Every structure is written in structure tokens, then in C-alpha cells.
Amino acid sequence: MAQARTPLMAGNWKMNLDHRQGTHLVQKLDWTLRDAKHDMASVEVVVVPPFTDLRSVQTLVEGDRLALRYGAQDLSPHDEGAYTGDISGAFLAKLGCTYVVVGHSERRDGHGESDELVASKAVAAYRHGLVPIVCVGEGLEVRQAGEHVAHVLAQVEGSLAGITPEQAQTVVVAYEPVWAIGTGEVATPEDAQEVCAAIRGKLAELYSVETADKVRVLYGGSVKSGNVASIMAGADVDGALVGGASLQPEEFAAICRYQQHLTA
């Protein structure tokens, strides 16, 4: 079952790196991975830059035929029109994006995004041929109250509303406990596995066991090269959504090469 899912390492740059810095990072990341003879078919590598970097990243990736993929950090639920400051999935598709992050906690908390809005963004992503990386995760109080699994599963159900069984086969879900984001406090491998397994169980309930077995469930929150291998050991953890550590190309490449740490 598990071997059917290709591990996915996605670097969410958040509001860091302008387009010049971004292209420099992508070049260095590519060189580092090439030097290591990294096989993208065994671990997929994705960068998620700010919108303003995407055109430059596209030019580089297409021009130099780089094997890594890229995506955006958000999109509008609408396709076009009077939505000042918003970005359509149609534009992202034109820029060659494969993925788009929706429902990151920094948008849920900082911009009041509800599960309903996140779901409409995920639906919009599929409308334009993009694969949504749907983020869920509990805050510290919820975790301390022991309600984290129920909280996350409700978010999964709400945030996937309107996603068809066919679309669900390719969706990516990222479990990012808010208390672990940017804090250096990583979830234990057991914590990550517990929630990722519960998410897969929920997907089986919402869709089917076969579909749930295809979905990649990522962990995010203070992932580094030093802790990624133990987190990836969880049978239901299929990759990582990496913030801070993805801003350093060698460090992010080492995260993508986590299987080497296992034998090193």
C-alpha cells in the first residue's frame, strides 16, 4: 500500500525571497540535487514561492528543463473579475504551477479563512488543473485539551467539501500543528503518525479505502534535515511541508534526500 505513494517534499517559502533570490535558490537546489543524483521519481521535490517569483521560476524551470515542480501559496475561489489583490487559478496554471497550497494556518488565522472558503479554493484549484495541498492542524489549546484528532478530521471534512471522488485521488493533505510551525518544536514521529493515519481513515470514510491509499498526507512544522527521517518513518506520513528550512538550498536538498540519512 504505502509504496504506491511517491513521497513529496514541498518547500513553502512564505513571504520570503524576492524573484532574484528565489531563482538563485532554485538553481542552487537543482545543482545540489543533481550532484546527489537525486531521483525525482522516488522523492518528488516542489517549491512554493511567493506569487511575484512564479514567472521567474517558470522561466528557469522550463528553460533549463529542471525536474523539480512548483506551486503557489494561495489562490482565489473565483476565476476572474473584480477581486482586487486576488490571484486566479487560471493565472497560476498559465505560469506552469502544478500545486497550490490552500488553508495554511497563517491564512486561516491571519485572514480568517474558514473551512468553507478553503474548500472553495480547493475546488477552484481543480477547475484549473492544479493540485491543492490542503492544510489542516490544531492550535496548542486544542492539543492540550486532547481534541486534536477530532479537530483535524473536522477540518479535513470541511476543507474537502465539493472535491469529487476522482479529484480526491490526487489531493495532498498537509497536517501542520500550529504549535509546531516556526517554533522549532517539532511533533514527535508518533504524534505525526497518529494524526496522519487518522486523516487517511477519514479519507477512507469520505471516499473509499482505495482513494485514501492514494492520497499523500504530509507533515509540516519545524521539519529539518536532522528530524525528517524519523518523521518519515511513520507509515502514513508521505512527505513534508517545510517552511524555514526550505529557504536554505543545501538544507532543503538534505531533507529531500532523507532516505540517504537512513543508510548513512
Ligand X SMILES: O=C(CO)COP(=O)(O)O
Does the protein bind ligand X through residue 244 (CB under 6 A)? Answer: yes
Judged by beta carbon, residue 47 or residue 207, the one nearer ligand X is 47
* Residue 128 known to be catalytic: no
Please count the other Cβ atoms lying within 10 Å of the Cβ belonging to residue 79.
14
- Helix locations, the chain, DSSP H: 19-35, 54-63, 89-94, 105-110, 115-127, 140-144, 148-159, 165-168, 189-206, 209-214, 228-232, 249-256, 258-263
d(CA 103, CA 179): 16
What is the smallest separation between the CB atom of 10 and ligand X, expressed in angstroms?
8
What binding mask, one character per residue, do residues 116-155 give for ligand X by CB under 6 A, x or -?
----------------------------------------
Stretch that binds ligand X, among 54-62, 120-128, 193-201, 221-229 (CB under 6 A): 221-229
Residue closer to ligand X, measured from CB, 136 or 163? 136
- 73 contacts ligand X (rule: CB under 6 A): no
Q: Is 227 annotated as a binding residue?
A: no
Question: Does 182 interact with ligand X (rule: CB under 6 A)?
Answer: yes
Candidates 144, 227, 196, 205; CA nearest to 5 is 196
Query: Is-catalytic flag, 111?
Result: no
Q: Is the dihedral of CA 104, 105, 109, 114 positive or negative?
A: positive
Q: How far is the CB of 48 from ligand X (least distance, A)?
A: 8
Beta bridge partners of 239: 8
Strand partners of residue 217: 173
Of the candidates 30, 24, 80, 41, the residue with the CA atom closest to the CA atom of residue 259: 41
**Residues 158-177: x where in contact with ligand X by CB under 6 A, - otherwise, as a string:** ------------------x-
Is 251 a binding residue for ligand X by CB under 6 A? The answer is no
- Interface residue with ligand X, options 122, 195, 242, 253 (CB under 6 A): 242
Which residues are catalytically annotated? 104, 176
